[in-house]
Chains A and B, each alone.
Chain A
């Protein structure tokens, strides 16, 4: 019988954070997922589809993890309202699958009881049954089912076929499992008492914790060893980002230049050709070029996240972060920001507290992203002599280190100032669960990478393409008059803009060419290199970095170069970061604050750098 005309069964997955809900969702739906936002909030909405063996179509919704339905975090409000059918635009689910970690029933059953009290059709999926068996935890499933009054199935979300029992149960559901009787409202203590009674009758647990977790945590959370291990892990991640990601990034950049040249050769000389080669291929190449480094970084972040290590890192660093107005949870987004601020800002979704989240978003762009590196590399190579300090330290390396440190110290200072200025002095909680260590599964990592990569590309392609085309337009038109002697860009709109910008930037030691390069840098920082190459009309274009460096060294002073580097460390760039801040905060105010404070900090720091360097160097 064709079931195409039958509306799909709407099933919602709910459960505590760390119950393995997302792994179960991945197992059930595979790659057939759609990730979006709930209307009006930045809470992620994940929906997927699958069909049961009998052909019943199921529309599966992965609701945000929740500890309680009565609390007020944005995630938990969404979960509660969707379950009750009160969320605008979301139909109430036909069936609720409550997911609970079989090794952590003391906590998770309380939430199950809370959901059950709503009187909606519900089944309980006892997840992580493999881990429970390994630890000798025995669950009397029929007894548990009888006590709760809901069907109970065992699942192992990390094993192929591990959701078979659940799929069969959903298959048997025609119009919905008989409604569970709506129980009278009880206070929180009573729920806990009920959980204890059920556990006493239906579950035997030889040991409250996993001996393996305790053993790892003795090292990972050790007051001295813990931070050392964390530093080592971070060091390895950065090594990998630059040693694996960077060559791929360069290869993509080269590939697109070649494609551009190839396409250009087929087109007649003129504006169309330059649009295709410079703007389209150059722009797309720039966006795609960041992808390998970002994917490598995300890969490690996902592995660390899935393994359960990241909350440990947040635990170790919380005190330091609080001192500068952030939270331990800020660590992960700030780490991502070293690749690019865009995934960093997106990653702040894991911070449930709105104030802490905003503070993290505001300082994230100060972390030295990989787009600043080409600019630093050019200026350091051209202006900083290659010599040893104290016989061991390379001066060029020290300058680069100082620029990275400037970003971090700057972020700490800004965080501290925000903390001092803000009116909201209420206590904001950490209250963070440290889950069991788990071996990351390839499937979950792959789906996570795909999701984040797709979001990154979708968000960026549009804006960068538009800006690159705009940049190309202002630096190409109007064309130079007949018999012009200066580079074509001098006569363009960009040339006039550069001269206009020179006045405000003169105190920082920028000449008009440098001021001009700040315009494309606003679209994407590393394009400043190409812009400088264009204005100084260096033969060989931006590929010939050595020649460009030589030209720059003849055209402006060391003080100006230092000032420009400091500017890049703090300046409100790039446009895409501001766009993603707007999307994630849904407020122009955050964009204005973020642009404003970075402009002031960058201007002041460059001014001081230039004026000091001019007198001493």
Chain B
């Protein structure tokens, strides 16, 4: 299974799901609120200088800075031929 943190810079994928690491996982809940829901296209736009942490992730038309630990919760699948989201 691929995670958002495994994506290379510039790569686009579709969100598979957001996993709760513990219950209740407020961070996972917040990610879902922000639009990380199954089938939504995501893209890694940039990586911060030190250890590529945090990541800059685009979902819909919004860009969010996510620490790797946060992005780890999002599993993704690469769709061949997916470019950018409408």
Contact = CB atoms under 8 A, between A and B. Distances in A.
Contact of A431 (B31, B49, B58): B31
Interface in B42-86: 45-51, 53-54, 56, 58, 60-67, 69-70, 84-86
A70 B33 contact: yes
A188 interface: yes
A38 interface: no
A67 B30 contact: yes
Contact of B50 (A188, A205, A217, A320): A320
A315 B84 contact: no
A89 B26 CA distance: 29
A68 B32 CA distance: 10
Interface stretch (A25-33, A103-111, A404-412): A103-111
A430 B66 contact: yes
Contact of B37 (A189, A318, A322, A430): A189
Contacts, number: 121
B35 A107 contact: yes
Interface residues of A, number: 43
Q: How large is the interface on B (under 10, 10 to 19, 20 to 34, 35 or more residues)?
A: 35 or more
Nearest to B26: A72
Contacts of B61: 103-107, 205, 208-209
B49 A318 contact: no
A392 interface: no
Interface string B19-32: 00000001101111
A279 B31 CA distance: 55
Contacts of B50: 319-320
Given A315-B54, A427-B27, A433 B62 contact: yes
Nearest to A111: B33
A68 B33 CA distance: 7
A442 interface: no
A617 interface: no
Contacts of B33: 67-68, 70-71, 110, 188
A324 interface: no
Given A67-B33, A68-B33, A217 B45 contact: yes
Given A67-B30, A71-B33, A217-B46, A431 B64 contact: yes
Given A192-B37, A221-B56, A427 B48 contact: no
A254 to B, nearest CB: 45
Contact of A434 (B26, B27, B64, B70): B64
A427 B13 CA distance: 26
A309 to B, nearest CB: 14
A319 B61 CA distance: 25
Interface stretch (A90-98, A222-230, A536-544): A222-230
A67 B60 CA distance: 15
21 contacts: A68-B33, A107-B34, A107-B61, A188-B29, A188-B33, A188-B37, A192-B40, A199-B86, A208-B85, A209-B58, A221-B56, A311-B65, A316-B48, A318-B48, A318-B54, A319-B54, A430-B67, A431-B31, A431-B64, A433-B64, A434-B64
Top 6 nearest A-B pairs (CB, nearest first) are A106-B60, A319-B50, A221-B46, A68-B33, A223-B49, A432-B65
Interface of B: 26-27, 29-35, 37-38, 40, 45-51, 53-54, 56, 58, 60-67, 69-70, 84-86
